[in-house]
């Protein structure tokens, strides 16, 4: 059953988001492809975290996080957040702190600061729900979505109506 599960979800395309949080003054980041909308009023999202990731526990311990919704132009950040041992806030990485202290990748146009409102432990993972508190949506995100499918990154473009 595990092989069938992996094969099925490997071919189930998913959008890509990058989560950041502050861990006692140290920024942490992790790329996820499990972000889903739960409710629009109030705005609530959910995502899963593998507890095998070194960034998972610091993200779970944070009261607030920043959710960056990545486009294809942000592929390098998606790869950075998914590479074990990478310096996700090192030299050459354009980031800042929000007035509330959370780290945010400056060039990502669509982002939300969110408050974690619940976690559900699952064997080797956690499902997290978060309420969106503030953020920005960039017009540049239309037509250039970043999708993860079959263990590869892809550009999802809008089709032109005829």
Is 60 exceeded by the pLDDT of residue 141? no
Distance CA 28, CA 20 (A): 6
Nearby residues of 134 by Cβ (< 8 Å), 6 or more positions away: 112, 113
pLDDT at site 158:
67
Q: Is the bond into 42 cis (omega within 30 degrees of 0)?
A: yes
So what's the architecture of 2-156 in CATH? Roll (2.30)
Helices (H) then strands (E): counts for the chain = 3, 12
Is 80 exceeded by the pLDDT of residue 162? no
Is 90 exceeded by the pLDDT of residue 8? no
pTM of the predicted protein model:
0.90
Secondary structure E strands in 9-138: 14-15, 17-23, 26-32, 36-40, 43-50, 64-69, 95-97, 103-105, 111-122, 125-136
Q: What is the mean pLDDT of the chain?
A: 91
pLDDT at site 150:
78
Name the 3-class secondary structure at 52. coil
Is 70 exceeded by the pLDDT of residue 83? yes
């Amino acid at each position: 059953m595990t092989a069938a599960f992996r094969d099925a979800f490997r071919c189930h395309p998913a959008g890509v988001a990058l989560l950041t949080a502050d861990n006692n003054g140290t920024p942490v980041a992790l790329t996820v492809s499990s972000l889903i909308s739960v409710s629009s009023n109030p705005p609530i999202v959910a995502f899963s975290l593998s507890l095998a990731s070194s960034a998972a526990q610091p993200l779970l311990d944070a009261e607030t996080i920043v959710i960056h919704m990545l486009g294809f132009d942000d592929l390098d950040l998606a790869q950075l957040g998914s590479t074990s041992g990478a310096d996700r806030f090192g030299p050459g990485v354009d980031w800042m702190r929000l007035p509330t202290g959370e780290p945010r990748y400056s060039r990502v146009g669509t982002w939300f600061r969110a408050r974690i409102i619940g976690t559900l432990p699952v064997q080797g993972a956690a499902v997290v729900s978060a309420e969106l508190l503030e953020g920005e949506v960039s017009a540049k995100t239309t037509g250039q979505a970043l999708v993860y499918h079959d263990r590869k990154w892809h550009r999802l473009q809008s089709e032109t109506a005829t």
